[in-house]
Every structure is written in structure tokens, then in C-alpha cells.
Structure 1
Amino acid sequence: MADAAVGSLVKKLGDLIVQEGSNLYGVRDEVEWLERELRRMQDFLKDADAKKNKGDDERVKNWVTEMRDLAFEAEDIIDTFMYSKLRRQQPGCMGFIKRFVSIFDELVSRHKVHVDVKGIKSKLHELSESREVYGISNICATCQSRSPGEIPILPQLRDDIDMVGFVDEKKTIVQELVDTSKKHQSVISIVGMGGLGKTTLAKSIYNDPRVKRSFDIFAWVIISQECTILDILNKILLEKLETSPGDTIESLSVKVFEKLKKGRYLVVLDDVWRENVWDQLQKVFPDDQNGSRVIITTRFINVAKIANPTTEPHELRCLDEKESRALFLRKVFPNQNIETCCPTYLVDYAHQLVQRCGGLPLALVVLGGFVSTKPQTQDAWRKVVESMNGQFVECGERCLEIIALSYNNLPYYLKSCFLYFGCFKEDWTISSEILIRLWLAEGFLPVKDGKTTEEVGLDCLEDLAQRCMVQITSREYDGSVYCCQIHDVLRDMCIKKAKENRYFEIYKNNDTVDNVTMSNAARRIIVCNEVAILNYSNSMLRGLFYGVYGSYNRLAFRALKGQLGRFKLLRVLCLHTKGISEFPSEIKSLIHLRYLGFSDEFSDEFSEDVNLKEIPSWICHLHNLQTFILSCRNLEKISDSLWTIGNLRHVKLPMSSRVPPPNMGNNVPKNLQTLKGINAGSWIGNALPKLTNLCELSINEVFNDHGDALSSSLQKLGRLASLSIYSASFSIHGRAICLDNNIITAFSNQHCLKKLVLWGSLNRKHLPHNDVFPQQLVKLKLGGSGLEQDPMATLEKLPCLKYLELWHDSYVGKHMICSATGFPQLLSLRIVVLTELEEWTIEEMAMPCLKFLEIYNSRRLKMIPEGLKNVPLDQLEVIQMPKKFITRMKEKTGEDWYKIRHVPNIRMKIWRT
């Protein structure tokens, strides 16, 4: 990790020299010297880190630690100097006395940098002289390393971890689930060590078509070490309307019990750690003698026996040699025949590598991902084998050693990016958008010609996924990563490495496994539990995460009151708080801040606990701010000074009709790429055309009068990839989007536009000809459009359309037709609340790629279309539909069953009358 600390600092110094130039006054020489010396030291750090991680010499470990601490110290010197410099540039410093004080402060600041860098020089000289004593060589002179840009990006891997082996175990468990002769409710346990494939097996069983057709109610709940009973009950109640903020364990238990009584249920409790979990939960699982089942996955045999003492749990074994080879080669050579993919001259090395994994699936997956980044040469593979010559004690140690091997081989910037995953709650689904913006704020992302830093961030995430260090769980409409996860074994390593290297610490005010004794030395702190006051003395803190990333209960803000001003070098501040009614004025002094997030960044919903009414005028003091996220219901005013921050790149604001449109003026933030939640106004004509870097735009409260300005401005935005327009037609004003020819022309000129959302009634009663729609459109969502003419005639001709959603009477006609050969690329179709629709026809050869279909609360629809039998669906959801409609689709006996019997996953729910 020392090379990550030094690498990040070298990058920062280089950027500083370029950006500030002569503005560094008398300290430029010191900064340039420091950058040169640290760059030289980088050559030795990889060798030193490798020796340290092999445990060769305690002195080497101390050398690496001293080097890391020296890099942190140098970074603190530079950031403190820049803080003083930026403070002198803040508004209001007028008058002779203030100018004199400012000059005096500058001289003092420059002198301090001279003195501090002199101390760094002395320490760096000592470290340099000690290299030979410790046997640390210039690794670049002894081995041929690949530059980060040369790592091959292989074809897209499957997002799920392949299940190899366990065929017999799956067959047995599926039979236990679907056996209708066993009427009593029962618990089935899958037991095995971390990384053995318990969750992968359980997911394969959970998604099996026979299982899907045998149960009425499903729930998948990740327990982990951190979940409380309240969390678990909330997760079982998937539908948000079933819960309320005031729910207690008692009230939620009743709701869960009542929900599960409505049919035959299958609930998976994944990764149970504590014996008392089942004791506390079992009363909420009713036994109505209908064959309901609960699956538990756990590492502990005693947990399984407590849940079901009469039945032996399914204990997973390690993979045999044939299975291990198959899984390893799938990761090294994706999408190839595993029998022929490995060149003969590499077979022996492959065998040796597989042997080292001892049949542990996670170790095979991670090692396979690591080897996939290496050249397919004997020399490269031999070096991997040689690096694994140490003796492993047991499977767990073997897995950690392989993970450490992959981690140590990462470029310095990817090490920093990877360790950030430890900041998130165990088993949490992580937004790539948020993750990459945090990496950006921290300065982790390298510069690559022709790419934005956000694009570089996506490349880094794909690289980590290729190496199987993280798992991609879903992708965006354009194929980029939407969400990802990290295996809990890998997360444990992140936390361990982070604590060793002062990267971050997790503060928990309880006695759980992850409780950390605070050292007050880490660069970042994650506060997960309620504290009376944040007692943390490290004023050099760079990141503060307060109650975020998976916390169900927001923490009270009072613990931070009066504390924030101490952390003057903060770059990242994430607050998931309650009881806050105004922006803390202390934030004004955090002029290094690049990321500021209030409330839950993962949700598009309002926060009931955040009562901020105004974004203050002093927000402009944060002129390094790149990302600003705010989610609250009661916002009434946004200071126009927000738009004077030239470094702003991403702004997400709450959708609120009470907030006046902005007055951006002439000095708009030209680096802005994301603008969401802003109300329409005169700025559309004045400022929007100047935001030429916009990639994602979401505008609310759009009226007819905005049509001409909007259509004219959109033509100036050549990089726009996602556009959402929300009409005010559902408000008391009753005016609608003016979708006239000007706006349509503006859409058609958007050559990058791939996602379009139009929400509100349209003046015209039919869609225009498909030629004037953006031909590269991948995702389209229409809501409340009020179209009287079937929109499918236009939409089915869009050549790239993959995702289509028709919401809330976007079409008010009675008949809908999908023509033959229409929708050639469509993967997903959602039909939601089309209240007038009665008949739907799908002609032969229509929608040849459709995998997902949802029909929701369109109560006049008489039956599913005949042509659905020819559509290759993987998943069908029919929700809140009349009983008669559902009955026609009943397995084997329903009139329409033959139309959908080929669909493996079907979910149906009757409309509540």
C-alpha cells in the first residue's frame, strides 16, 4: 500500500505543478524536487511491498511503513499550504489591513513549507540510504512490468460467478423444496467456509424454474455480521408500502407474518453468523402446512443445527481437480471451450496453479482473474507459479494468500480504488456512479488522453471485475457498470489492509466483530453507530462518512456539531443524518472539499429526516467542489452562488416544485456533466446552451412556454447521453410538455442520446415518425403521455432500442400491436397502468430478443397475447392484475398456459380489489 500512497502523492504533485504553475511562488522548486524524488522512490516500493507481504524481514516492513508515513506527511504539507493559499483568495478580504495581513500570512506559509520540506528531504535521504541494507532493489530494472494501459481488457465476463460442481447438491435441495408430500414448514441449511460457493449454490436453486413455479412468495435476505433483526424484517418486506418509518420490531414481525401467510413461501437467509438469529426470527415464519421452506446459508454448523436439529445440513465440499480446472480456465479464457482453450505449453503451469487453490472456488476465481491479465507466455505464467511457492496451512489461508497476490499485483491507483470497497456495508449493492465520483474526489484516477476521469473510473471498475476482485451485479442501458458488490472475504481483506495502512477505520460503538479501536491516525473514518460526540483528533482527515452506505437508521447530527471545522483538509463528506435543519456553517471552511453528499445517495426518494430548506450563498466558498448531492423534501431555495463553482461536475437535487428556477448568469459551471432535479425557467435559453459538457440532464416543471428555448438549447449539447423531462401537467397548473416538431428535431440531432424519459401529457395525440427519433436510443420511458394512437408503430422501428417502459396511461387506446420483425433489439418491456388497454397482439417474429416482460395493473387487458409463445422470455412478471387474468395463466390448467410454459421464471400477483 506504500506504493499507492506515494503514487497518489506523485500524481497530486504533478497536477499541482501543471495547474498552479507560477502561482506556487517561492515553493515551486520544493514541490518539483519532492515530485522527482518520490517518483524515483516508486521504483523500489513494489519490491519492498512484495518482500513485506512475504514476511521476509521485519525491517523491510518498517521501511515500507516509514515510506508510507513520509508520503502522508508530505501530502499534508502541500495540502495545508494550498489551504492557506486558498483561504487568502476567499471573498471579502478587502482593505489595506487585510491585504497586509494576507501578505504576512503568505510569507509565513512559504517559510513553513521551506522548513517542512527540508525535514522531508532529510528523512527521504535516510530511507534512500537504507535500501541496500534491506536488500530492496529497483524492481523495474530486474523485471519487465506492464504499464497500466497495456493490461488487456478481455471480452465482457459473466456478471455472476460460475457455478461449477455441486450438481448433486442442487438436485437434492431442489427436490426437497418442490416435494409437495412434505406439508410442514422446514429449514434447509447449506454450510461451508467463506469462498466455498454457498451463496452461488443458493442463488442457482432460488432461480431454478421448478422452484419458481412451486412457491407464491419469495424473499432473499442477506444477513451478514452486521444485520439487526429490524434490518432483516425490513428486507423481507420488499415492498416499501408495507413499511413505515415508525415501525418497531413488534409491528414489523406482525407484517412479515401476515405477508407470509398469504401463500407458500420460500425465504433465503444468506450468510447467517449468529446462533440466536433463528431463535429471534422463527416466530415470524408461519407453518400453514402448505410446504413453505426457509434456506439458510452459514459458515457455522451449530447455526444450521439450531435452525433444524432433526435434519443434517448440506455441507459443501471443495471442488475436485476436474471441477477446479474447469472453473479456473473459465476465468482465464472466458467464452472459450475449456477443453481446448489452454495452449499445450501452459497446461503444466495451469495444473500447478489449480493445485495451489486446493479446490476453493473463490481462490480459483480470483487467481483465474489475476492470470487473465498476464501474457499467455511460459515466462509470465512461471513467474505467477513462483510467486506462490509459500506453504499454505489450510483452505482459508490459501484463499487469503491468493487474494493478496492479486491485490499486490494491482497498479498503485487500483489498490486505492479497491480498498475503498471496505468503506461500504457488508454485502451492500454499490452504485458505480457514487463509487467513481468518490474515487474522483480522492484523486485516485489516472489521466488518460481522450477520456474523462469518469470514463477512466469505469475502466478501473471493469479492470477490477476482470481480475475477479469485485462482482458486477447489473449494467446500465449502455452496457456500463450500474452496480457492483464485493465478496465478504475480499471485504475483510480490504478492512485489514486499510487498518494496517492508515487508509480508513470503521468506528462502531458496540462489540461486534468489526469493532475498531480508534488510532486517530487513519486518513478516513466511517461512523456507523450513534455517538454522543465524534472524538477524533486527526485534523488531517481526508474523508468522513457519517451513517452512510447501508445504514437503515440515520444518525443524529448533534455528534458532529462543532467538530467539522477541525478537519480542514477534508475532500469527501457524506452525511446520512437526521435532525438537521440548516447547512452547518463549519462546512464553509472546508475549501478542499470535492464531494458533499447529504442523505442517502443511493435513493432517488426524498428523505423524511433531512429538513434543509435553503442552500446558502456561502456554498461558493467550496470552489473545489465536484459532486454535490442533496435529497430532502422541504428544500425551498438554492443560492445562485452554487452555479459559480467552476469545478462542479455532478449535481443532484431533490425534485421539488417549491424551488424557484436557478439564475445561472454568465459564469456557468462549464465542467458540469450531470444536472438532475432542477426546475425549468429562463436559464434553459440563457445558460443551458453553455453547458456543453453535459452528459445527463433531468428537468422538472416543464411547461409549454419552455418548448422553443428547450429545443434550441438541446441542439447545442453534443455530448448529452441521458435526458429526462418531467412535465408540470400533474400539478395544479395543468400545463403540458410541448412536444412539437422543434423539440423532436432537437432529439434527432442528439447523436449521443441513448436514454430518454418524457413524463407528462403530450400536446399531440400520436408519436411522430420514427425517423425523427434519435436512432441510437437504447432506453425510452414514457409516462402519462395520453397518446391515442398506438405508439408501437413508431417505437418498434428504432434499431437500437433495448429497454422500453410505458407508464400511467402513456397510451390510452384499447388495442396495441407489435408487428412482425419489430423491436429487433428489445430486451426489456414494462407495461405499467395502461388502464384502457384491452387487447395486445404480438405478431410472429416480433421482439426476437425480449428477455423480460412486466405487466402491471393494466386491469382491462383480457389476456396475454398469443404471440408471446414465440418470444424467448427468461422472466415474466404479472403484478396487480385481475384474478380472471391470472387464472388463465395458471400452470397446466389455465387457458393461456401454453403461451408461457417456456418461460423459466414467472411471477404473478392478483390485483387487490
Structure 2
Amino acid sequence: MEIVETCGKGTLSAGEPSTKRSITSNYDDDEVVGFEIHAEIIMKKLIRGTKERDVISIYGMPGLGKTTLARKVYNNPSIVNYFDVKAWCAVSQTYNRRTLLVEIFKQATNDEIEIKEDDDVADLLRRVLIGKRYLIVLDDIWDVEAWEDLGICFPQGDYGSRVILTTRIEEMAKHLQHHSDPYSLSFLTSEESWELLEKKVFRGESCPPDLLEAGLQVAQHCKGLPLVVVLIAGMIAKMDREESLWLEVANDLSSIGLGEQSMKVIQSSYDHLKDHLKPCLLYMSLFPEDHKIPVDDLLKLWMAEEFVLNVKTENIEEASRDCLNDLLNRSLVMVSTKKINGDIERCILHDVVREFCLRKLKEEKFMQLTVPYSPYQHFCSMNSRLCIYIHDDLVKQLDHCEYQLDKITMLESKESTKCFGECSRSLEFIAHPYFNPWNKTNPLPLLVKLKLVRVLHFPYKELPSSWPIAVQSLTYLRYLEISVEEFDFECISHLVDLQTLVVSSSKFIRTSPATIWKMKKLRHLNVNKLSLVWDDNDKAIFEETSIMLENLKTFHSHRICVADMNPRFWWRFVNLEELSLRVEALPSCPLFPSVEVHTRLQSLNLVISPRGFLDSSGWESYFVFPSNLRHLRIGGCFLTKEMILNIARLKKLESLTLDGGFRWDKIEHHCWDVTNVNFPALKYLELHCVRIEEWKASEESFPVLEELSIRIGYFYKDIPPSFADIPTLRLIKLYDYTDSLGVSAMNIKKEIEENTGCDSLQVLLL
């Protein structure tokens, strides 16, 4: 593989398009100051030295940035293109060997090989890695046994393979030494601490002179811990820019010993949070250690638990995003992965922050008074509710007490008993992500006892057929995610407060649209197989009334049959922002009869079965899309001239993904000619297995493109040379590509360097 080196890098009226606020963060792992020399040393250990497999250990106390350093090296283009196979997994104190091996195997094979329950994953992984130059990162490893469990699956050989370990424990790092000496991560210098603090607080601007002395004192008292620096930066960035306030922070830091400094700083950051943000943060600690939390799911859970105080906007999703932005910008929450458009897809808690949150929950005996959201209720209402977090200790007690709530010792203290007795009507449980007694007992009898629960999350195994009986008593549900054999909307029609419904059913869900109209508060609907049954009465009611589900923001169906009435069905979701459909056959009518109905639709994911395409004409007229789309993904559809023009009409489109699947064998030749077509706002273009044997484009075709990604590019000869004339182009990623395609990408990079004198384009050959 070739080594590629690079440098640099409100409230809406009904007729307005939604301006969905992005989730961003001041804290970027790649921008941490003082890691450049460390990264250079680690990269030399990876690329140079012995050809035998080597283990490189990075050790140091919590908060020094071991994971950040490993991630910075792991993502460096030189490293990405040097190794044949790369995989990253977080080990942590408690781990499941098979789960970790499955995770490594999926990354090593790009998730293209399915694993069955009885497969020997260790053997499969060895076969995949043998004969290849691989890089495996085992992050946050705590004992030698963990290495012995996993390391045996990483074959020896003379290919230059490497394993990076990060650990807090110096003795273990030395014990696992192979060829390279363990690497001790040092503290930041005072100058580096100040540089990092200034960058995070002032976002690239210089510190005002009147704050300089106080800022230097704050940085000095962070004692060289990057985690402490970014946490303090997140806190003082929200404070008034007054020297006296900053000096107070510096004095407080000076009195804290190094061992407990991280915890004390997190406590200070926690104390400065607004009240409604505290349960949001504590809730995140209930996810497993190092768990990459899906942002979309997290926001819906916060909404269901009524953590989000919706005091400034009628859009509670926007309020939830603001909450996460606040936690991110204070560095209490970190970015894990991003979507192609730059939005944050998954987030994670630093293990020290999570440890603090768990301590806080334990101090409060897993109980917390929470003010619920109500659009008609004042912010400071005393009508609060008592929540009990179902955490590890409580799970054990529930199991020991056979799930009889009145026997739980955690609730037997004088104060707790009083609360339990007086507040029993408002007592509710916030579920632990691990809390699933399925393997030991039928969960349904327990659900009957948790009548005030707001979130029911059983997505992985099918519930017994009697599930509708248990759900009858859960009238406070706002979030329901289940896997069942059969589903009927009538079984949940009594859940009038339901906001999020996610259903996985092994059979098609056949329902009358009238059952869905009853769920007026529904905001997010995701059903895997949906078939709408329209009888004459439904049609008459539908035509004669103006039934609208005005709260619905997202609608997803992984398989849906499109009949004549269906487009008019989602026509009634006037405030829809995200729509995802897998259409089973070529539709016989337009998907959007009136494209200007969905003025707020931002994201459309459309996968179409290719049946009927080759034998029909004029089908492109059925795919005229709402004009305010910003993100579009189309799978299975042919790129005819008319279809390209339909897409080009979307003047606000920022990201476009075209997925051809593997169904292009009958097409002998395909040319994608966009020479005279303009995509004025397109920043991200991804082509996945699209058969483009000839690609023509001009420099005006993609004037603001920033990223081009091509997956399974066996059909491509080259990228149009005009891409060298796009001033905004920063990244080209090629997966499973032809030699000619790789050469064309490098030629574009070379031409940009010659024309501009700057190495602004990064090329990743994967």
C-alpha cells in the first residue's frame, strides 16, 4: 500500500423549512495540544522496527489522553494506508471475549461476513488476519488475562503487524512488553496547558490582555492533565470574562491534589450545569463503559424521560440537541463518530466522567427529583417526580427479591421509605441498559409492576405473544421499542402520550391508517415491515377530513408496499424532517404527489427494489423530491439522465449517497454525465457499488464539494480530472478500488499541489 502524507486541514412558521440544528463540539481529539511529538514516536514504532508482530503499550494516569493519542495515530493517513487491516476495540474492566472478538472481526472484514451463533470467532479472526499486516488497538486494558484472552487470536508473522495497548497500569505495560519499550505518556507543560486552554476557550482567537494572567494561573493549576484542561475550559467558557472569577477557579484548583483532581474538576463542572442538564449526564453513565451511544436514540430517551426543559422553543428535538451541545462544549461528553455530513452520530463518556456520575448516583441511592417538561408548566414548578435509576446494585436486588419492589433494601432506609410511601404515585424507574431479565425469567410480569415507566426497550429478542396484555398497564409510556412476531397498532392505541415507536416484526404489519391517526403525540415512527390496508371507509374519511400528524418528525419503514393511497398517507405528515423507505417494487404513482407539502423534510433515505425498472419507461417522474432536501440517499435506482436532473433540482442538497447494490449486471454500459449539471450546495458525495463505467464532469458540476467517497469501485476507470479544480475538495476516500481509480485520485492530489503549492487534499486508499 502507498503511504500518503498530508498537512493542514428559533421558532418556525408553518411555511418555513426546518433548520435542524447540528450537534457540534469545541472538543476535537485530533486538536489536543502537545501530542505531536508523542504521535510521531508511536508512528515510528508502528512503521519501523521489527518485522515480527510487536505490542506497543501506552500507559499513564486517567486524563492524560492515552486514548486520544492512540486515536490520533490510528487515524493518521500514513498509518491508515500502511496496514492491510485495522481494528479498534475498548476492553475496559469488565468485558465479554466473544463480543470483543466479533467487533474486531467485523472491522477486519468491513462487516461483509456474517457470523453465526455457533461460529468459532477466534478461529475466524485468525484466518482473516493471517498473512496480513494488521493493526489492532486494545483500548483501556486492565489485566494480563484480557491480553491472553485476545492476543492469542492475533497471529505471529513477519509482516510488520502491530498491537497498541492503552492502560493505566505501568506494571502490566511492562509485563506485556515484546520488542518495543512501553511508552509513558507525560504531562503537558505549563505552556502546552495554556495553549490548549486558550484554544478551547477562545476558539482560535487570542486571550484578552486583562485575562492573560488569570488564564495562565488556571492553566498552571491544571497540573498538566489534558482532561482537566478541557473540562475547565468548557466551564470558564460559559462564565463571564472577569479576572476575579477566573482567579477563583485557579485558587480552587491549587488546593486540589493530583490524585483526586479530575474528580474535583468534574464536580465543579457538574455544579455549574443547569439543573435539567444534570439528569441528562447521569443518565448517560447507565450505558456500559466505553459504549458508543447513538445520538438520535439518546435524544429520544431524554425526551421520553422528560429531562429536557422545553422553555425556549416548541421544538423539543431542538431543545434536546441544545442540551447535548452544551455537554459536548463543556467536554463532559466526547464525540465518538460523525456522519458523512459532519453531524455527530455517536458520543461517549470519558471513563473518568462516567466514574464520577456513578459515584453521584450511588450517593443519591440512585434517586433523583426531576422536574418534568410541560409546555403549560413554569420552569420552577415544584411538581417534581422521584426517579430511581435501575443500576447494577438495584438489578441484583431486584433479582434477589424476585422483582418484588417492596422488598428492595435500597428503599428501606427511613428517608427512602418515607419517599417511597409518600411519593409512590410518582415513583418510576429509569431502566439500566443491561437490565433485561429475559434470560432468567419472563419480563412481562415485572412490567405490570412498573406502571409509571416511560421507556420500554426490549429490541433484541422477541417478546412472548402475550406482550399486549402487559403493555395495557403502561399508560405513561413515551418510548416503546420492541421485537415481536406480530404487531397490531390497536394494541397500543391507548398509549396517548407515546412519542417514539420502534417495532421489529417477523411478519408484515398490516394496519389501517386510522389506527395511526389516533397517536397524536407520536414524533418518531420506525417499523421494519409495513403494509397499509385501505378500506373504502378509510379512503372516504381520509378524503373528507384534514387529519394531520403534525408532531411526526421521522418516519422509517425498512420494507413498505407503495399503493396508490400511500403517498397521500405521508402527505399528512406535514412537519416531517426525516423519511426513510425501502420500497418493495417500482411504484405506480409519484412518491410525493405535491413536493411542496414537505417543506421541512431535510433527509430522505430511499431504497427501491429494481424489479420493473428495465421493462418500464417514464418512471423517473415518480421521483421528484421535496425542494428543501439537504441529505439524500438513493439505493437500487438507475442513474438515467432524467434521474440526475431530478436530483440536481435540489439546490440545497448538501450530501448525496448513491448505492447501486449488486444488481447492475444487466446494464452493459453506463455513463454518468454531469458536465452540464450543477450541484451548487453539495459538500459530500458517496458512491457505493454504482456502475459508472464512464464519468464526465466539469469544474462547475460540484463547486463546493469537500469529500468524495467511493466504495466497491471496481467499475470505475477514473475520477474526472476536473475534480482538481474544486477549491473546497479536502478528502477522497477509496474502498476496494481499481488501480486506475487509485492512480486518478493521486493525480488529482498531485495537480492540486502543483497548482496551489499546498497539500490541501487528503487521499485515503482503504
Superposed pair shares fold, TM > 0.5: yes
The AA in structure 1 aligned to 2:640 is E
Aligned match for 2:66, one of 182, 198, 210: 198
Within 5 Å, give how 1:456-467 maps onto structure 2: 456-467=319-330
C-alpha separation in 1, matches of 2:540 and 2:292: 39
Q: 1:747 to 1:640 in 2, by over 3 A?
A: closer
2:221 to 333, 356, 360: 356
Conserved 8 A contact 1:547-1:575: no
Question: What SS class does the counterpart of residue 303 from structure 1 fall into?
Answer: helix
The alpha-carbon deviation at position 746 of structure 1 amounts to 1.8
TM-superposition CA deviations, 1:705-757 (whole Å, max 9, x none) = 42xx556566664422223343221xxxxx52533xxx566224532222223
Report if aligned partners of 1:370, 1:467 keep a CA contact under 8 Å in 2. Answer: yes
Give the match for residue 13 of structure 2. Answer: none
State the Cα distance separating 1:419 from its structure 2 match.
0.8
Aligned-residue CA RMSD (Å): 3.7
Q: CA deviation at 1:795?
A: 3.4
Is the CA contact (8 Å cut-off) linking 1:192 and 1:298 kept in structure 2?
yes
- 2:495 paired with 1:622: yes
1:799 to 651, 666, 671: 651
The residue identity in structure 2 corresponding to 1:806 is: L
Give the alignment partner of residue 828 of structure 1, picking from 661, 667, 684.
684
Q: Which residue of 2 aligns with 1:819?
A: 675
Task: Give the aligned partner of residue 504 of structure 2.
Answer: 631
User: Any idea what the Cα deviations from partners look like across 1:856-907, whole Å, max 9, x if unmatched?
Assistant: 34543333433344456554443345xxx2x3356xxx57642356653523
Paired residues for 1:429-440 under 5 Å = 429-440=292-303
Q: Are 1:736 and 2:583 an aligned pair?
A: no
Say if 1:621 and 1:408 are closer, same or farther in 2 by CA, change over 3 A. same
1:850-889 aligned at under 5 Å gives the runs 850-857=705-712, 859-870=714-725, 874-881=730-737, 885=738, 887-888=739-740
* Structure 1 SS opposite 2:604: strand
Pairwise mapping of residues 780-791 of structure 1 onto structure 2 (< 5 A)?
A: 780-789=632-641, 791=643
Q: Of 447, 453, 461, which aligns to 1:578? A: 461
1:210 maps to 2:78: yes
Q: Is the 8 A contact 2:27 2:329 kept in 1?
A: no
2:140 partner SS: strand
Match of 1:187 among 55, 80, 95: 55
Q: Which amino acid aligns with 2:454?
A: R
Deviation at 1:241, TM superposition (A): 4.1
Amino acid at match of 2:79: V
The 8 Å contact of residues 724 and 757 in structure 1, kept in 2 or not, is answered as yes
2:602 maps to 754
Of the two, which has the highest radius of gyration? 1
Deviation at 1:442, TM superposition (A): 2.0
Q: Any idea what SS the aligned residue of 2:279 has?
A: helix
8 A contact 1:547–1:576 mirrored in 2: no
CA displacement at 1:504 relative to structure 2: 6.1
8 Å CA contact 1:814–1:839 kept in 2: the answer is yes
Query: In the TM superposition, what whole-angstrom CA distance separates every residue of 1:166-191 from its partner, at most 9, and x where no partner exists?
Result: 22221111112222x63111111111
Change (3 A) 1:699 1:747: farther
Name structure 1 gaps, 5 residues minimum.
1-152, 506-520, 599-609, 667-680, 730-734, 909-913
Q: Is 1:847 aligned to 2:702, yes or no?
A: yes
> In the alignment, which residue of structure 1 is the partner of 2:360?
497
Distance 1:704 1:630 in 2: 19
SS of structure 2 residue aligned to 1:625: coil
Whether the 8 Å contact between 1:620 and 1:644 is mirrored in structure 2 is no
Name 2:100's counterpart in structure 1.
Answer: 232
Equivalences for residues 542-557 of structure 1 within 5 A? 542-545=428-431, 548=434, 555-556=438-439
Choose which of 486, 494, 498 in structure 1 pairs with 2:349: 486
Change (3 A) 1:281 1:202: same
Q: State the alpha-carbon separation in 2 of the partners of residues 656 and 557 from structure 1.
A: 30
Aligned pairs for 1:85-164 (under 5 A) are 157-160=26-29, 162-164=31-33
Measure the CA separation in 2 of the matches of 1:879 and 1:364.
Answer: 38
Alignment of 1:276-675 (within 5 A): 276-334=145-203, 336-337=204-205, 341-385=206-250, 388=252, 391-394=255-258, 396-474=259-337, 481-503=344-366, 523-526=388-391, 535-538=402-405, 542-545=428-431, 548=434, 555-556=438-439, 558=441, 560-576=443-459, 578=461, 580-584=463-467, 585-598=469-482, 610-615=483-488, 617-634=490-507, 636=509, 643=516, 646=519, 648-656=521-529, 661=533
Name which of 168, 172, 178 aligns with 2:47: 178
Counterpart residue number, 1:36: none
How many pairs are equivalent? Answer: 684
Q: 1:826 to 1:536 in 2, by over 3 A?
A: same
Q: Is the 8 A contact 2:484 2:504 kept in 1?
A: no
Residue 213 of structure 1 aligns to a residue whose secondary structure is helix
Q: Give the secondary structure class of the aligned counterpart of 2:715.
A: coil
Letter matched to residue 346 of structure 1: L
CA–CA distance in structure 2, aligned partners of residues 704 and 565 of structure 1: 38
Distance of 1:383 and 1:805 partners within structure 2: 51
Q: CA deviation at 1:391?
A: 2.0
CA contact (8 A) 2:29 2:72 kept: no
Structure 1 residues 841 and 418: CA distance shift in structure 2, 3 A: same
Q: Determine the structure 2 residue equivalent to 1:904.
A: 762
Q: Which one-letter code corresponds to 1:570 in the other structure?
A: V
Deviation at 1:368, TM superposition (A): 0.2
Change (3 A) 1:321 1:527: closer
Q: Deviations over 1:413-433 (max 9, x none)?
A: 111111111111111121222
Are the equivalent residues in 2 in contact too, given 1:478–1:754 (CA < 8 A)? Answer: no
Q: Deviations over 1:564-601 (max 9, x none)?
A: 22223322222255363324323322223332222xxx
Q: Which moved more, 1:274-283 or 1:303-312?
A: 303-312
Deviations 1:785-842 (A, max 9, x none): 234327445534643222111122799661113437933432322222334x211123
TM-score by length of structure 2 reads 0.80
1:526-546 CA distances to partner (integer Å, 9 max, x unpaired)? Answer: 469999777444465522536
Question: Taking structure 1 as reference, are residues 402 and 702 closer, same or farther at Cα in structure 2, changes over 3 Å only?
Answer: closer
Q: Specify the code of the residue in structure 1 equivalent to 2:470.
A: E
CA 1:169/1:689 → structure 2, altered by over 3 Å: closer, same or farther? same
Identity %: 27
Residues 58 and 183 in structure 2, CA contact (< 8 A), matched pair in contact too: yes
Q: Deviations over 1:197-243 (max 9, x none)?
A: 11111111111121122111111111122322112101111244434
Superposed CA deviations along residues 501-535 of structure 1, whole A, max 9, x for unmatched, are 13369xxxxxxxxxxxxxxx971214699997774
How far residue 346 of structure 1 moved from its aligned partner, in angstroms, is 1.3
User: Paired residue for 2:551?
Assistant: 693
Per the alignment, residue 125 of structure 2 pairs with: 256
The aligned residue for residue 272 of structure 1 is: 141
For 1:581 and 1:687, locate their aligned partners in 2 and report how far apart those are by CA, in whole Å. 38
- Per the TM alignment, residue 477 of structure 1 is displaced from its structure 2 partner at its CA by 7.8
Give distance in 1, aligned partners of 2:23 and 2:648.
Answer: 33
Aligned to 1:244: 115
| Bigger relative contact order, structure 1 or 2 (CA pairs below 8 A, ≥6 apart) | 2
Mapped partners of 2:84, 2:540: distance in 1: 52
1:409 Cα deviation from its structure 2 partner: 1.2
Name the amino acid aligned to 1:804. Answer: L
Distance 1:805 1:723, change over 3 A: same
Distance 1:319 1:737 in 2: 64
Secondary structure at the aligned position of 1:203 is classed as helix
Summarize the Cα distance change of 1:161–1:647 in structure 2 as closer, same or farther, 3 Å threshold. Answer: farther
Question: Does the CA-based 8 Å contact 2:338-2:345 persist in structure 1?
Answer: yes
Q: Is 1:726 aligned to 2:582, yes or no?
A: yes
